[in-house]
Structure 1
């Protein structure tokens, strides 16, 4: 039910703040030169000075040696680059007419969406797109989400920043274009907050963070791993695991806890908790709740449990979807 509700809410808000005026490929800086682009330089009436190639890791035309100095092109427009090349060529040509075109954009960086989503994916973004739209396309948020979304933006992979564009337009690389991390609250997205529904750009890594686990094992009907959230108590965790089984002993409940580099062993009686004789403690991330089983020795040491939760990553093997 919770999964369905999250999906419905995200579908509802997915298109909310999207401006239909920015649906073209040239929106959000996409008409500027990016890493991976193939650039064509055409000098009208002269084959000798034509050139085609890519952008090197420093943001210059890679191997363009027909002028005295390198031409910085990253995040600049075609016309800006054409003007600079024409100025360089004017030293050896009379009134050169230069046309610069981006002829291939297919190798531009892709955005990644992973973590606590149903279908982690890569996205090639060719128009304005917001975080909720991508989350919906990734199948929606799962029950293991912690409540936050982390957006990591590497430097220079997108040209959306006004300061970066201004520096690039003058032929410089912006020193202020540093990697950025942004945290978005899922609750703010679901409430329809426009400031939270940010635009996602090529190269962004979006991770719906997963809640740390709490394990309930032993004499319960359905041993499981719960997402550690505020308010999860010992009795609620056991109830979520289907309650005490026929073999379980409600008077012998052990909580194994890792805290400050040490392992703690806490013993409780569920019967006393239900009778209000003992506090119903709040569980912490990575707690292991072990309900003893009748006829078996009580566990003295914490079990080894492999945490197989998969966090989002920039995996090149993920499915690729084009957003145009």
Structure 2
């Protein structure tokens, strides 16, 4: 019984150690790195003459009254800078107890995310953040989102890994262009590391809108339908338009498609009935396609039947009514 209790206690102690280490590593990974414009506040216990409140200059330095030289603060954490300044104060004060904090964070511009997200906004980052988390913070993407996310980096990130900076520079095809990268939305959603980059302050994230297809004519609802990253077929487009009306000419659907590098359109005629019966392959629609469903010609007998059954309501409503006394 005692042995079981000892084992339980040892397991608990090891769990606490690993938990504490995990918390420490996590907090270090999220530690804020000081930059130009930040306002720092330091207080020494019992020694008000050594307290200070300073702004980090453009070179990343601070001026403190007890040091003849500027103190480099840029890209250091509060803990690192506190240890360095404590050594300076120790020349004058025995065992100084210094508390140091970033009173105001002003060195990082916000991240901007807009396009096809539910909440377009600017986000101030206080820790390392990746693209997927930013998308979630913006409420996710809308139904009109395409398959591409573009991340612009207008300025080099502060305190970033030099290798990452070189990678971003290499992707700029023109010196006048803002460095950017394209990411597949599906890969981002899957959490793939190569498609889930670290986002830095000042980055601009654009979720591109899907290219539309237009469905017109004899369908239940005229629609502008986005082509998502999974593509869009003719049958899917017709279904999203609510299906055909009773007068639809399903054997001769016209797809008006833009010619390559031209504003002119070619006409593709499709027999929808053969697609439905499996005799013809479904058609993959392209951006800016216009799907036109024509009206079938009806005989006199069909028109009379519609009138009797109420199917030709739109036709009878336009006829004048008179009362025969």
Do they superpose with TM above 0.5?
yes
Residue aligning to 2:292: 290
Aligned pair in 2 of structure 1 residues 79, 136: CA closer, same or farther (>3 Å)? Answer: closer
Distance of 1:210 and 1:144 partners within structure 2: 6
Q: Secondary structure, in 3 states, of the residue corresponding to 1:216? A: strand
**Aligned residue for 1:257?**
258
Give, in whole Å, the separation in 1 of the partners of 2:23 and 2:193: 15
Cα distance between partner residues in 2 of 1:184 and 1:81 = 37
Contact 1:116 1:209 survives alignment (8 Å): yes
Match of 2:303 in 1: none
Provide the residue aligned with 1:281 in structure 2.
283
Query: What's the counterpart of residue 130 of structure 1?
Result: 130
Q: Deviations over 1:224-252 (max 9, x none)?
A: 22222455233332232122223443335
Establish whether residue 200 from structure 1 lines up as the match of residue 231 from structure 2: no
1:118-157 equivalences in 2 (<5 Å): 118-157=118-157
Point out where structure 1 has 5 or more consecutive residues left out of the alignment: 1-18, 64-68, 86-94, 165-173, 296-324
Change (3 A) 1:28 1:181: farther
Contact 2:111 2:124 (C-alpha < 8 Å) held by counterparts: yes
Partner in structure 1 of residue 180 of structure 2: 181
Larger of the two Rg values belongs to structure = 2
* 2:214 and 2:224 in contact (8 A); partners too: yes
Q: Deviations for 1:108-131, whole angstroms, at most 9, x for unmatched residues?
A: 311223333222232222123333
Alignment of 1:163-242 (within 5 A): 178=169, 180-228=179-227, 229=229, 231-242=231-242
TM-score (structure 1 length as normaliser): 0.57
Shift of 1:107: 5.8
Residue 124 (structure 2) pairs with residue 108 (structure 1)? no
**2:221 alignment partner, SS class:** coil
* 8 Å CA contact retained: 1:151, 1:204: yes
Q: What is the Cα deviation at residue 105 of structure 1?
A: 0.3
Give distance in 1, aligned partners of 2:168 and 2:53: 29
> 1:46 and 1:212 mapped to 2: Cα distance?
65
Matched-pair contact (CA < 8 Å) for 2:135–2:141 = yes
Note if contact 1:235-1:270 (Cα within 8 Å) is conserved in structure 2.
Answer: no
Report what 2:320 is aligned to: none
C-alpha separation between the residues in 1 aligned to 2:190 and 2:167? 33
User: CA deviation digits over 1:66-87, x for unaligned, max 9?
Assistant: xxx99986546679999999xx
Q: CA RMSD in A?
A: 4.8
Q: Is the 8 A contact 2:37 2:55 kept in 1?
A: no
3-state secondary structure, aligned to 2:122:
strand
Match of 2:39 in 1: 38
